[in-house]
């Protein structure tokens, strides 16, 4: 009798379990039919909010700040219905704390990466300077001549037309006029110091390879693929001096 009772309880439990609706995954994406303008408008509002939140999550995840996605969705739904468990001031206080935490972590990571970039750059330039084909200037700029030119040399005040390829030490390409199939033109005194100095060494028609220390490039600033204190490598082809500028009448005040 006892054995039959246990068996009956197990059957009942299994039956109840089978009757329970499956757990709903709040992160599951459904393919919806959006026929009317109202439907599209409604979906677009939700999607735009989702994009903002996704961007914020990705930004903070970079520095190790993680979220519980289920609670995030529940908090969103509760606030949408005016039933948030947290008061407005508490939410603002928590968000400000997290933003400060993320900024501090990002600053620490940036400083660490900068120090690593400095060390890598110094080691690379030290070894590179030992190569017979490499010339080192007084500023620390290094270059090698890939092709000699026959034309005149530009001055810092001139506007030049060049083709170029820029890479990081690991070979990552961050910019290239060759890829765009369009040469670049610019006043030589409005680019990074390494370019201003280096291109003046070239005769028109020449092609040089420059190894630019970070203090002659972007320093501690980051831009695109370039992180702070990165040593940069450029292959530059001087195509033309398209405008000869007038020399400055006095030294700049900065």
Catalytic residues: 164, 174-175, 192, 218, 234
Contact 157, 205 (CB under 8 A): no
Which 3 state secondary structure label does DSSP give 45?
A: helix
Please give the helix or strand (H or E) that residue 4 lies within, else none.
helix 2-19
> In terms of Cα–Cα distance, which of 165, 166, 175, 159 is closest to 240?
159
Round to whole Å and give the CA distance between 84 and 75. 7
Round to whole Å and give the CA distance between 236 and 203. 12
Identify any residues that bridge with 234 across adjacent strands, giving them in sequence order.
166, 210
Q: C-alpha distances in angstroms, 66 versus 49, 55, 56, 69, 122?
A: 19, 13, 11, 9, 35
């Amino acid at each position: 009798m006892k054995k039959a009772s246990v068996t009956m309880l197990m059957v009942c439990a299994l039956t109840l379990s089978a009757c329970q609706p499956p757990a709903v995954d709040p992160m599951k994406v459904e393919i919806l039919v959006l026929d009317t303008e109202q439907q599209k408008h409604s979906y677009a509002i939700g999607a735009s909010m989702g994009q903002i939140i996704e961007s914020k999550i990705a930004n903070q995840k970079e520095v190790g700040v993680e979220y519980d996605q289920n609670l995030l969705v529940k908090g969103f739904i509760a606030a949408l219905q005016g039933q948030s468990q947290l008061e407005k001031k508490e939410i603002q206080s928590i968000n400000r704390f997290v933003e400060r935490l993320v900024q501090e972590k990002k600053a620490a990571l940036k400083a660490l990466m900068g120090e690593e970039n400095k060390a890598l750059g110094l080691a690379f330039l030290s070894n590179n300077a030992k190569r017979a084909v490499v010339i080192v200037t007084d500023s620390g700029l290094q270059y090698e001549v890939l092709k000699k030119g026959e034309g005149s040399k530009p001055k810092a005040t001139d506007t030049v037309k060049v083709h170029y390829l820029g890479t990081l030490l690991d070979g990552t390409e961050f910019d290239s006029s060759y890829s765009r199939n369009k040469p670049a033109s610019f006043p030589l005194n409005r680019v990074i110091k390494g370019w201003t100095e280096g291109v003046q060494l070239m005769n028109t028609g020449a092609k040089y390879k420059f190894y630019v220390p970070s203090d002659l490039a972007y320093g501690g600033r980051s831009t695109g693929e370039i992180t702070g204190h990165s040593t940069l490598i450029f292959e530059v082809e001087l195509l033309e001096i398209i405008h000869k500028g007038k020399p400055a009448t006095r030294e700049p005040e900065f």
